[in-house]
Structure 1
Amino acid sequence: MRVSDLPLPDEVIAHHESEGITELYPPQAAAVEAGITGGTNVVVAVPTASGKTFVAELAMLTAGGPALYIVPLRALAREKYETFSEVPGVDVGIATGDLGSAEELGGSDVVVATAEKVDSAIRSGASWVDDLACVVVDEVHLLGSQGRGPTLEVTMATLGRRAPDVQIVALSATVANPEEIAEWLDAELVRSRWRPVDLRTGVCAGGRVDFDDGSTLAVAVDAEADDRGVGTATTVELVRGAIDDGGQCLAFVRSRREAETLAARLAEESVGAASAVAADVRDAGGTDTGRRLADCVEGSVAFHHAGLRSEHRAIVENAFRDRRLKCICATPTLAAGVNVPARRVVIRDQQRYTGSGMEWLPVLEVHQMCGRAGRPHLDPYGEAVLVAGDADREELESRYVGAAPEAVESQLADREALRTHVLAIVASGFAESRGGVLDVLDATFYAHGRPEESLAGLVDDVVSDLVAWEMLTTGEGLAATELGTAVSRQYVAPRTGARIVDGLRTMRGMERVTGLTALEIVCDTPDMHGTYLGNRERAAMYQYARSHADEFTTSMGETETFERWLEAVKTARILLEWADGASTDDLVEQYRIGPGDLESRVERAEWLLGAAAAVAAVLDADGSAFREVRDRL
Structure 2
Amino acid sequence: MRVRNLPLSSAYTEHFVENGIRELYPPQAAAVDAGVCEGSNVVAAIPTASGKTFIAQLALLTADGPGLYVCPLRALAREKYEAFASLPDLEVGISTGDFDASGEALAGNDIIVATSEKIDSAIRNGASWVDELACVVVDEVHLLDADRRGPTLEVTVATLRRQNPDIQVVALSATVDNPDAIAAWLDATLIQSTWRPVDLRTGVAVGGSIDFDDGTTREIPLDGPARKGGNGGDGDGSDDGGSDLDDTDVTAALVANTVAEGGQCLAFVRSRAEAVSLAQRLAADGLAEQMGIEAAAAAAGDEAAAVDGTVTGHQLADCLRSGVAFHHAGLRSGHRTVVESAFRDRDVACICATPTLAAGVNVPARRVVVRDQKRYTGSAMEWLPTLEVHQMCGRAGRPGLDPHGEAVLVGESDSRDELVERYVDGEPEAVESTLSDPASLRTHVLSAIATGFAETESEILDVFEGTFYAREAGAGGLADAVGDTVDDLVAAGMVRRETAGGVGDYRIVATPVGETTSRQYVRPETGERVVDGLRTAAVMPNATTLTAFELICDTPDMQDTYLGNEERAEMYRFARANSGALTTGMRETDDFEGWLESVKTARILDEWIEGATVEELVEAYRIGPGDLDSRVERAEWLLSAAQALADTIGVSVPSVPRARSRL
Residue aligning to 1:507: 537
1:179-194 pair list within 5 angstroms:
179-194=180-195
Instruction: Indicate if the aligned counterparts of 1:46 and 1:194 stay in contact, CA closer than 8 A.
Output: yes
Deviations 1:420-463 (A, max 9, x none): 00000011111111110011111000101532110111111221
Deviates more, 1:82-91 or 1:297-306: 82-91
Q: 1:381 aligns with which of 404, 409, 416?
A: 404
Query: What is the CA–CA distance in structure 2 between the aligned matches of 1:628 and 1:449, rounded to whole Å?
Result: 47
Query: What is the CA–CA distance in structure 1 between the aligned matches of 2:477 and 2:542, rounded to whole Å?
Result: 48
Deviations 1:479-518 (A, max 9, x none): 1111111000000000000000111121233221110111
Query: What is the CA–CA distance in structure 1 between the aligned matches of 2:317 and 2:251, rounded to whole Å?
Result: 22
Instruction: Indicate if the aligned counterparts of 1:232 and 1:348 stay in contact, CA closer than 8 A.
Output: yes
Q: Give the AA of the match of 1:254.
A: R
Instruction: Indicate if the aligned counterparts of 2:545 and 2:656 stay in contact, CA closer than 8 A.
Output: yes
> Do structure 1's residue 537 and structure 2's residue 567 form an aligned pair?
yes
Residue aligning to 2:280: 264
Query: How far does residue 221 in structure 1 lie from its aligned partner after superposition?
Result: 2.9
1:584-595 pair list within 5 angstroms:
584-595=614-625
Residue aligning to 2:461: 438
Residue aligning to 2:31: 31
Residue aligning to 2:339: 316
Query: How far does residue 285 in structure 1 lie from its aligned partner after superposition?
Result: 1.5
Query: What is the CA–CA distance in structure 1 between the aligned matches of 2:98 and 2:227, rounded to whole Å?
Result: 46
Residue aligning to 2:311: 288
Query: What is the CA–CA distance in structure 2 between the aligned matches of 1:177 and 1:487, rounded to whole Å?
Result: 36
With the length of structure 1 as denominator, give the TM-score of the two structures.
0.99
> Do structure 1's residue 577 and structure 2's residue 597 form an aligned pair?
no
> Do structure 1's residue 5 and structure 2's residue 5 form an aligned pair?
yes
Q: Give the AA of the match of 2:20.
A: G
Query: How far does residue 265 in structure 1 lie from its aligned partner after superposition?
Result: 1.1
Query: What is the CA–CA distance in structure 2 between the aligned matches of 1:628 and 1:46, rounded to whole Å?
Result: 50
Q: Give the AA of the match of 1:102.
A: S
Q: Give the AA of the match of 2:170.
A: V
Q: 1:624 aligns with which of 654, 659, 662?
A: 654
Instruction: Indicate if the aligned counterparts of 1:516 and 1:552 stay in contact, CA closer than 8 A.
Output: yes
The alignment partner of 1:68 has SS state of strand
Q: Equivalent pairs: percent with the same residue?
A: 61
> Do structure 1's residue 136 and structure 2's residue 159 form an aligned pair?
no
Instruction: Indicate if the aligned counterparts of 1:207 and 1:223 stay in contact, CA closer than 8 A.
Output: no
Instruction: Indicate if the aligned counterparts of 1:250 and 1:328 stay in contact, CA closer than 8 A.
Output: yes
Instruction: Indicate if the aligned counterparts of 2:546 and 2:603 stay in contact, CA closer than 8 A.
Output: yes
Deviations 1:349-373 (A, max 9, x none): 0000010110000000000000000
> Do structure 1's residue 74 and structure 2's residue 74 form an aligned pair?
yes
Deviations 1:36-88 (A, max 9, x none): 00100000000000000000000000011100000000000000001111111
Query: How far does residue 566 in structure 1 lie from its aligned partner after superposition?
Result: 0.5
Query: What is the CA–CA distance in structure 2 between the aligned matches of 1:558 and 1:486, rounded to whole Å?
Result: 26
Instruction: Indicate if the aligned counterparts of 2:369 and 2:409 stay in contact, CA closer than 8 A.
Output: yes
Instruction: Indicate if the aligned counterparts of 1:206 and 1:223 stay in contact, CA closer than 8 A.
Output: no
The alignment partner of 1:308 has SS state of coil
Instruction: Indicate if the aligned counterparts of 1:30 and 1:190 stay in contact, CA closer than 8 A.
Output: yes
Query: What is the CA–CA distance in structure 1 between the aligned matches of 2:511 and 2:646, rounded to whole Å?
Result: 14
The alignment partner of 2:641 has SS state of helix
1:324-363 pair list within 5 angstroms:
324-363=347-386
Instruction: Indicate if the aligned counterparts of 2:207 and 2:250 stay in contact, CA closer than 8 A.
Output: no
Gaps in structure 1 of 5+ consecutive residues: none
1:84-123 pair list within 5 angstroms:
84-104=84-104, 105-123=106-124
Residue aligning to 2:253: 237
The alignment partner of 1:87 has SS state of coil
Residue aligning to 2:63: 63
1:400-411 pair list within 5 angstroms:
400-411=423-434
Query: What is the CA–CA distance in structure 2 between the aligned matches of 1:237 and 1:525, rounded to whole Å?
Result: 45
Instruction: Indicate if the aligned counterparts of 2:538 and 2:653 stay in contact, CA closer than 8 A.
Output: no
Residue aligning to 1:426: 449
Query: How far does residue 470 in structure 1 lie from its aligned partner after superposition?
Result: 1.4
1:434-513 pair list within 5 angstroms:
434-475=457-498, 476-513=506-543
Instruction: Indicate if the aligned counterparts of 1:205 and 1:392 stay in contact, CA closer than 8 A.
Output: no
Deviations 1:284-336 (A, max 9, x none): 21111101000000011100001111110011111111211111000000000
> Do structure 1's residue 147 and structure 2's residue 163 form an aligned pair?
no
Deviations 1:195-235 (A, max 9, x none): 00000000001320001111111123389937434500000
Q: Give the AA of the match of 2:625.
A: P
Instruction: Indicate if the aligned counterparts of 2:258 and 2:367 stay in contact, CA closer than 8 A.
Output: yes
The alignment partner of 2:287 has SS state of coil
Query: What is the CA–CA distance in structure 2 between the aligned matches of 1:88 and 1:431, rounded to whole Å?
Result: 42
> Do structure 1's residue 250 and structure 2's residue 266 form an aligned pair?
yes
Q: Give the AA of the match of 1:398.
A: E
Query: How far does residue 19 in structure 1 lie from its aligned partner after superposition?
Result: 1.4
Query: What is the CA–CA distance in structure 2 between the aligned matches of 1:603 and 1:390, rounded to whole Å?
Result: 47
Residue aligning to 2:199: 198
Instruction: Indicate if the aligned counterparts of 1:348 and 1:389 stay in contact, CA closer than 8 A.
Output: no
Query: What is the CA–CA distance in structure 1 between the aligned matches of 2:343 and 2:223, rounded to whole Å?
Result: 30
The alignment partner of 1:289 has SS state of helix
Q: Give the AA of the match of 1:458.
A: A
Residue aligning to 1:607: 637
Query: What is the CA–CA distance in structure 1 between the aligned matches of 2:414 and 2:65, rounded to whole Å?
Result: 53
Q: Give the AA of the match of 2:124.
A: R
Query: How far does residue 615 in structure 1 lie from its aligned partner after superposition?
Result: 0.3
Query: How far does residue 469 in structure 1 lie from its aligned partner after superposition?
Result: 1.7
Query: What is the CA–CA distance in structure 2 between the aligned matches of 1:480 and 1:201, rounded to whole Å?
Result: 54
Instruction: Indicate if the aligned counterparts of 1:483 and 1:615 stay in contact, CA closer than 8 A.
Output: yes
Query: What is the CA–CA distance in structure 2 between the aligned matches of 1:235 and 1:451, rounded to whole Å?
Result: 48
Query: What is the CA–CA distance in structure 2 between the aligned matches of 1:222 and 1:542, rounded to whole Å?
Result: 50
Residue aligning to 1:213: 214
Q: Give the AA of the match of 1:196.
A: P
Q: Give the AA of the match of 1:216.
A: T
Distance 1:32 1:207, change over 3 A: same
Instruction: Indicate if the aligned counterparts of 1:304 and 1:316 stay in contact, CA closer than 8 A.
Output: yes
Instruction: Indicate if the aligned counterparts of 1:25 and 1:50 stay in contact, CA closer than 8 A.
Output: yes
Query: How far does residue 102 in structure 1 lie from its aligned partner after superposition?
Result: 2.9
Q: Give the AA of the match of 2:384.
A: L
Gaps in structure 2 of 5+ consecutive residues: 229-236, 239-245, 289-293, 499-505
Distance 1:269 1:491, change over 3 A: same
Instruction: Indicate if the aligned counterparts of 2:433 and 2:469 stay in contact, CA closer than 8 A.
Output: yes
The alignment partner of 1:446 has SS state of helix
Query: How far does residue 99 in structure 1 lie from its aligned partner after superposition?
Result: 2.9
Query: What is the CA–CA distance in structure 2 between the aligned matches of 1:233 and 1:552, rounded to whole Å?
Result: 49
The alignment partner of 1:210 has SS state of strand
Query: How far does residue 389 in structure 1 lie from its aligned partner after superposition?
Result: 4.5
Query: What is the CA–CA distance in structure 2 between the aligned matches of 1:178 and 1:226, rounded to whole Å?
Result: 45
> Do structure 1's residue 305 and structure 2's residue 328 form an aligned pair?
yes
The alignment partner of 2:28 has SS state of helix
Instruction: Indicate if the aligned counterparts of 1:343 and 1:375 stay in contact, CA closer than 8 A.
Output: yes
The alignment partner of 1:379 has SS state of coil
Deviates more, 1:591-600 or 1:458-467: 458-467
The alignment partner of 1:546 has SS state of helix
Instruction: Indicate if the aligned counterparts of 1:203 and 1:209 stay in contact, CA closer than 8 A.
Output: yes
Instruction: Indicate if the aligned counterparts of 1:606 and 1:630 stay in contact, CA closer than 8 A.
Output: yes
Q: Give the AA of the match of 2:206.
A: A
Query: How far does residue 98 in structure 1 lie from its aligned partner after superposition?
Result: 2.5
Q: Name the Cα RMSD after superposition.
A: 1.2
Residue aligning to 1:178: 179
Query: What is the CA–CA distance in structure 1 between the aligned matches of 2:469 and 2:599, rounded to whole Å?
Result: 37
Q: Give the AA of the match of 2:465.
A: D
